[in-house]
Structure 1
Amino acid sequence: YSLSAIGQCRKLTTLNLQHNELRSLPDSIGELKSLELVGLRYNHLEGLPASMAQCHNLLELNIEGNNIWQLPEGLLAHLRKLSSLALSRNYFSTFPLGGPQQFTSVQSLNMDHNQVTKIPFGIFSRASHLTKLNMKDNQLTSLPPALSLLFILSTLVIDDTLRKILEDELCCGSDEINSQPVTYHRYYKPH
């Protein structure tokens, strides 16, 4: 079947195409101006069309379990209402290109099970709504110092290998910290 005519469904608010073995999406997806939720989990997508930047009402985007290693540059910066972003189980080795402005409205970011080696300094400098960050099962060996400034962050999920680094930087140890994966809840140095 073909999705080429999907752009004609202009009142569509939810697009759930999970588990459909899709390899690509048509550019006409950008014509879906009312779209609020896109579920593309567990397909064979290698990328997203740049036209998705025109889906200005998008609140949730889930592309977990595909073959994606990069998003179109600046895509997320155009999706200013996006609150939930799931990029888990793909092939990302870096954060999406677009700078700090791409996370201004994101509340939940899941990038677990990728190949990310570094969280770029300042990437979350405008992430004033980010409450959940899941970076478990990546290749991180350190965390950026600015991460400790995200006091609004209520959940951080990382591998146990980063446990000591975070404890030293944020809280000097706690009884509530468990074995991997470690979920930290609002830990920061008291003033």
Structure 2
Amino acid sequence: MTSGQEDRHGMWHGTYDGHGDLVRLSARDAELDSLPPLPAAVEDPAGLLELRLDGNAFTAFPEPLRDMSGLEALSLYRNRLTSVPRWAGSLTGLRSLNLAANRLTTLPDEFGELARLHTLDLGHNELTELPDALGRLTGLDRCLYLSNNRLTAIPAALCRLTALRYLNVTDNLLTALPAEFGDLAALRELRLYNNRLVALPDSLGRLGELREAHLMGNALTSLPASTGDLAALRELRLMDNELESLPRSIGRLKRLRILDLRNNHLTALPPSLGDLSGLTHLDLRNNHLTELPDALSKLPALEKLDLRWNDIDPWPDWLEDLERHGCAVLR
């Protein structure tokens, strides 16, 4: 067999490496509730690098996984798991682990032994809390998915993941973030929409690498002044909150391209918005605005300004100037 060559072994689908060893196996959408015998070509289970068992009927981790100490990627996506055994922490070679779309309610402390993980997906489960042990996953530098659970809080220990670049905790029950949240210094994309957040910590401004912040569908009434310190931010999405005002510091976001503020309670805008020299899209639909700061007329890169469903009267003359310069103005 040549490297990358695929073959079938009964219900197993396998891939070989350059030495002719079967190193990747998958058995998907087969309604399995126990692990079938491995193909004869697998001489040593410890030599397997990847195992994918998506879309089956496992209610518990298959016991034969104990012998697969060399696994680097394991996926049990869309099964019926209710728990993770403590011995799963012995799979210390894992780099990617997908346990999404199961029925998990808790995680063992031994989870923290999986220090080589770079990607972890726990989305679409029934988790109500996270163990502090997750903070020991210091190799986690790509993605952490926690969406669609029942989490009411993020433990401060999670903020020790200082190499993490993508964090998704959407569709949970969060009301606050830990004060240490700004310690996630490498974070580039943050998704926290559809929670119950009423405020953001001042430490948010320390996320100097953050490119995208998706904070829609919360209960935010204001933003911390430190928001203006997010020097790398390109997208700030705040629709469907309860914002009553914006900090003047928001004008320091020189790289911001998209600012979505629709469906909030804004009655006025800070003139500093006119300093957003890179802004291309500004959505202000369905607020309580009665006037606009003239500074908005100075936005050189603006391509779309949506002002519908406000109470602005009269409309400022400079809106026509924006339109003449190619900006689509909806009012």
Pair in the same fold by TM > 0.5:
yes
The separation in 2 between residues aligned to 1:165 and 1:22, in whole angstroms, is 46
The 5 Å alignment of 1:140-159 reads 140-159=289-308
1:113 aligns with one of 248, 263, 273? 263
Deviation of 1:171 after TM superposition, in Å, equals 0.8
Q: Which amino acid aligns with 1:186?
A: C
8 Å contact kept, 2:277–2:300: no
Question: Is the Cα contact below 8 Å between 2:166 and 2:187 reproduced in 1?
Answer: yes
The answer as to whether partners of 1:92 and 1:115 remain within 8 angstroms in 2 is yes
Offset of residue 146 of structure 1: 1.1
CA distance in 2, matches of 1:31, 1:166: 49
Following superposition, the deviation at residue 122 of structure 1 comes to 1.2
- CA-to-aligned-CA distance 1:149-183 (integer Å, 9 cap, x gap): 11212222332436765563321696x9xxxxxxx
Determine what percentage of the aligned residue pairs are the same residue. Answer: 27
The separation in 1 between residues aligned to 2:157 and 2:259, in whole angstroms, is 26
Quote the residue 2:154 is aligned against. Answer: 25
Q: Which amino acid aligns with 1:92?
A: L
- RMSD value over aligned CA atoms? 3.2
Structure 2 SS opposite 1:30: helix
Shift of 1:119: 1.6
Q: Is 1:5 aligned with 2:133?
A: yes
**Partner of residue 93, structure 1:** 244
C-alpha spacing 1:156/1:41, structure 2 compared with 1 (3 Å)? farther
Comparing 36-45 and 146-155, the one that deviates more: 36-45
Uncovered stretches (5+) of structure 2, i.e. residues with no partner: 1-105, 107-128, 205-226
Distance in 2, matches of 1:83 and 1:173, equals 22
Does structure 1 retain, via aligned residues, the 8 Å contact 2:248–2:272?
A: no
Assess, with a 3 A threshold, how the Cα gap between structure 1 residues 173 and 98 changes in structure 2: closer, same or farther. closer
Displacement of 1:147 in angstroms is 1.5
Residue identity in the other structure for 1:9? L
Instruction: Give runs of aligned pairs for residues 65-144 of structure 1, distance below 5 A.
Output: 65-73=194-202, 75=204, 76-95=227-246, 97=247, 99-100=249-250, 103-123=253-273, 125=275, 127-144=276-293
Letter in 2 for 1:107: R
Matches of 2:292 and 2:266, distance apart in 1: 12
Report what 2:174 is aligned to: 45
Which whole-Å CA distance do the structure 2 matches of 1:139 and 1:159 have between them? Answer: 11
Shift of 1:109: 2.3
Q: Which amino acid aligns with 2:137?
A: C
How many pairs does the alignment contain?
177
1:56 to partner: Cα distance: 3.0
Alpha-carbon contact 1:100-1:124 (below 8 Å) kept: no
Shift of 1:81: 2.5
Cα separation, 2, equivalents of 1:46 and 1:36: 23
Residues 265, 288 of structure 2: 8 Å contact kept = yes
TM norm structure 1 = 0.71
Which residue is 1:182 aligned to? none
Where has structure 1 moved over 6 Å in runs of 4 or more?
none
